[in-house]
Amino acid sequence: MVRLVSLLPSATEIVDALGLGDVTTWAGIAAAEPDLVVVAPCGYHLAGAAGQALSVTRELPGVPVWAIDADGIVVRPGPRLVNGVEALASVIHPGAVPAAPPGSVSRVR
């Protein structure tokens, strides 16, 4: 997932600010002033990711938070990986690409 995010031009600033794959704090993420947060925990489908995303909404008030079916379309090799990139693009650039398929992403806040 970190590698996918680092390929998105709009995500490079926060990846650079936090350090690719580094451990950080909520304060560190807030200081980076993200435009949005995508919660994509390995091993979780959309419902589980959305549940974990609730803690992000408490820690980063005012920041849009999205959950993604990481287990189904992000961490799997093969064609579904393309679906994951397309789903991320639909969240980050909603007017520029088609909406993600139902059940793949959900705005939590």
Is the separation of the CB atoms in 29 and 43 below 8 Å? no
* pLDDT in the model for residue 79: 83
Nearest to 83 by CA among 105, 66, 67: 105
- pLDDT at residue 20 in the model: 55
The token pair at 72 is 């189904």
pTM for the model stands at: 0.80
CB 17 within 8 A of CB 27: no
SS3 category, 14: helix
pLDDT of residue 78: 83
- For Cα atoms 69, 75, 77, give the angle at the middle one, nearest 5 degrees: 125
pLDDT the model gives residue 77: 77
pLDDT on residue 106: 97
Could you tell me the mean pLDDT of each successive run of 10 residues in the chain, 109 residues long?
Answer: 52 55 78 90 93 94 95 85 90 92 94
